[in-house]
Structure formats: C-alpha cells, structure tokens
Structure 1
Amino acid sequence: MENYLTSLITETPFQGRQLAITLARKSIAEIQTDPETRKKLRSDYATDTQQLIASAQIIALEFQTIAAANDYWRK
C-alpha cells in the first residue's frame, strides 16, 4: 500500500486543502476498492447536489484537521 500521508504539515493553506482533497479521495478508494464500480458511480454523484455537498463537507473536515495540525499557518 502506498504511503501517501507522510505528514499533515504543509507549507501553505493551499497545500493543506490539496492534501484534504487527496485524503477524501483516498478514503473513497479504500471503501470502494473496485475502480470500475467507482467509475460507474461517478456519474450518479456528479449530478446529485446532496452527494456533492456531502463530499465538500468531508473535504472541509479533513482540511480542518490539517489546519489545526499546522497551527492554522500562524508563523
């Protein structure tokens, strides 16, 4: 298994957000392990407002964790 999470520490909030997106995407891949099934489901959630909002909420939660780990980039 690839270690895509070597640290929650990032240099900038933008990098933190990109990491949050990566974490959310990797979580989905861990839950639904079949890439073909994920590909088939993509069209369903791409047009479902509730599912898109839920996805954004997961990314926001991941970002919140990363921001806290980075002391909200206060330097």
Structure 2
Amino acid sequence: METKEDYLPSLITNTPFEGRQLAITLARKSVGAIQPDAEIKKKLRPIYAEDPISLIASAQVIATEFQTIAAANNYWKK
C-alpha cells in the first residue's frame, strides 16, 4: 500500500487566514485525488482557467471547505 502524506493533522488553525489557506489546500488535494494524472490536469487548465463558471465553481468548493474549518475553530472566537 502506498504511503500518503498527512496534510491534514487538524482543522484547527490560529487565524481565519490560516483557515482559508487550509481550505485552498483541501480543495487542491481533492482535485489531485479525483484526477491524479498531472499531464491531463495540465492539458485541461487552459480550458477552465478562462471559463468564469468553472472559476466560480472552484471558489464555491473553497468556500465550502472554509465553512467547515471555521466551524471547527468556533469561528475563531476567543
């Protein structure tokens, strides 16, 4: 069995900015898990990079990940 990097030891972050960075990482890792072939991703990038609907959909994925992280961090209330 292949050893995978644990890029998600916790959803807890110190700041909302760190939470957003984690949300972006999670979204990117999801794309990599769905389409592991780097050449295909490279080939498709010019297509979705100029498609506003695809870019909005990507932003929605990040926003959803960020909602989960924010809730896990009690919205950074102290």
Identify whether the pair has TM-score above 0.5, normalized to the shorter chain.
Answer: yes
2:48 pairs with 1:49: no
Identical-pair percentage = 71
Report how far residue 61 of structure 1 moved.
0.1
Partner of 2:76: 73
CA RMSD of aligned residues (A): 0.4
Partner of 1:11: 14
Partner of 1:58: 61
Report how far residue 53 of structure 1 moved.
0.1
Report how far residue 19 of structure 1 moved.
0.1
In 2, the alpha carbon distance for the partners of 1:32 and 1:39 equals: 11
How many residue pairs get aligned? The number is 75
| TM-score calculated relative to the size of structure 1 | 0.99
- Match of 2:44, as an amino acid? L
| TM-score calculated relative to the size of structure 2 | 0.95
C-alpha distance after superposition, 1:7-33 (max 9, x if no partner): 000000000000000000000000001
Q: After TM superposition, where is structure 1 displaced by more than 2 Å over at least 4 residues in a row? A: none
